[in-house]
Chains A and B, each alone.
Chain A
Amino acid sequence: MTHDMRADTIRLSGHDGDEIEGYLARPTDNGRHGGVVVIHHMPGYDEGTKEIARRFAANGYAALVPNLYWREAPGASPDDAAAAARAKGGVPDDRLVGDVAGAATYLRALDGANGRIGTIGYCSGGRQSFLAACRLDLDAAVDCYGAFVVGQPPEGFPLQVRPVVDLAGSLSCPLLGLFGAEDQYPSPEHTAELTRALEAHHKEFTFHTYDGAGHAFFSTDRPSYRVEAALAGWQEIWTFFGAHLA
C-alpha cells in the first residue's frame, strides 16, 4: 500500500552533539513503523536523496536523511556544500557514525516508532552504511554499490577513505548488498572478497549483482540508471526491510 506521508526539514543532534539539518519523511497513519537512516552520496544532500526518503515513507517507514555537509556550509545548495566538504577533506568516518547514531536516536523517539532502525546508502553512502552497521547497534543495513569497503583507493590524493572490511566481525545486523556486474568499484571481485570476510565471521548477509548494470544504477537522474536492476533492487530492499524492520 501507499502510505500517506509528510516530509519536513528538521534539526537533529549529530556527532559531538552538533545540531545538524535533516530531512524527515514519515507515514502519517497511527501504525507502528520502522526507521531508516538514508545516507546521502558524495554529491550531497540533494533532491534525489530526498525522493528516496519520501519513497520509504510511502512504503511505511520513517526515513531521515542527515545532512552530512551541514557543518561545512549550512544553507548552501547541495552541490556547493559537497564541493566545500570535498575541498576540506570529506566526511571523517567517526563523524559519519556519530551523525547516523544521532539520526537513529531521532527516529527511535518518533511517535509510532517500533524501535527498529536500518541504514541504506548509495555509492560512498554504501560504504558508510556498512561502516555504521559495524560501529552501531542496528537492525538492518543496505549497501548499494559502496566502493572501498574492500580494496584500496588511489594513493597520493588528499581525500582518502580506508577500506573497512576489517570491521566485518563487528557487523551488528543483517546486510543486503546490491551491486552492478559491470561496476569496477566495487567489482565482482571486490564483492567476492567482502563475501569471504562476512562468511568467515558467520554474518547474515544477502548480495545481489545485476547483469547489465554498473555503478549508480539506482540514480534515476543519471546516465547510469538501469530500470530492470533498479526495480529488482527496490524489491529486494522491501523484502529485506520487511523482514527486519517491520
Chain B
Amino acid sequence: MCTYQTRTIPVRGSGKGATGWFPVTEASVYFDHPVHAPDTHTLNVDFLRLGDQTVERVAVELDPGSARALADAILASLDEAPAELRSTG
C-alpha cells in the first residue's frame, strides 16, 4: 500500500546532494514505498531545500531495523556531546 504517511519538519543544516552542498530547510520522514531499496516499505528520509518550483534533496531509504538503530545512534550522539557544544537547535 501507499501509506501516505508523511512528517515534514523545518530543519537547519546542510546536505550534499547531486550537485553539491546546499542548505537544508525541511526534512520529510515517512514509512512508505521506496524508490531504490529492495523492500516493499522502508523508512524514508528526505533532506530538502524546497523552492517555489525547485527541489534539492538528499534521500535515504532504510529498512525499519536500520532506521531505529540510526535514530538511537542520533540520540545517543547528541546526549554524549558536551552540553556547551550542542547549545543550538
Contact = CB atoms under 8 A, between A and B. Distances in A.
A28 to B, nearest CB: 32
B33 A83 contact: no
B7 to A, nearest CB: 7
Contacts of B50: 84, 87-88
A130 B6 CA distance: 23
A41 B55 contact: no
Interface stretch (A152-160, A202-210, A238-246): A152-160
A71 B54 CA distance: 9
A87 B30 CA distance: 10
A157 B48 contact: no
Given A87-B50, A223-B38, A223-B39, A79 B59 contact: yes
B3 A223 contact: no
Interface in B14-28: 26, 28
Contact of B1 (A86, A157, A183): A183
A73 B57 CA distance: 12
Contacts of B26: 87
A132 interface: no
Contact of A43 (B1, B33, B46): B33
B28 A215 contact: no
Given A86-B28, A223-B38, A224-B40, A72 B6 contact: no
A103 to B, nearest CB: 21
B39 A79 contact: no
A90 interface: yes
Interface residues of A, number: 40
A76 interface: yes
Chain A binding surface SS class: loop
A73 B53 contact: yes
B75 interface: no
Contacts of B57: 80, 83-84
A198 interface: no
Given A76-B54, A216-B40, A224-B40, A83 B3 contact: no
Contacts of B81: none
Interface of B: 1-8, 26, 28, 30, 32-33, 35, 38-40, 46, 48, 50, 53-55, 57, 59
Interface of A: 41-43, 71-74, 76, 79-84, 86-88, 90, 123-124, 145, 147-148, 153-154, 157-161, 183-186, 214-216, 222-224
Given A87-B28, A147-B1, A154-B3, 7 more contacts: A73-B55, A84-B55, A123-B2, A158-B8, A159-B30, A184-B1, A216-B33
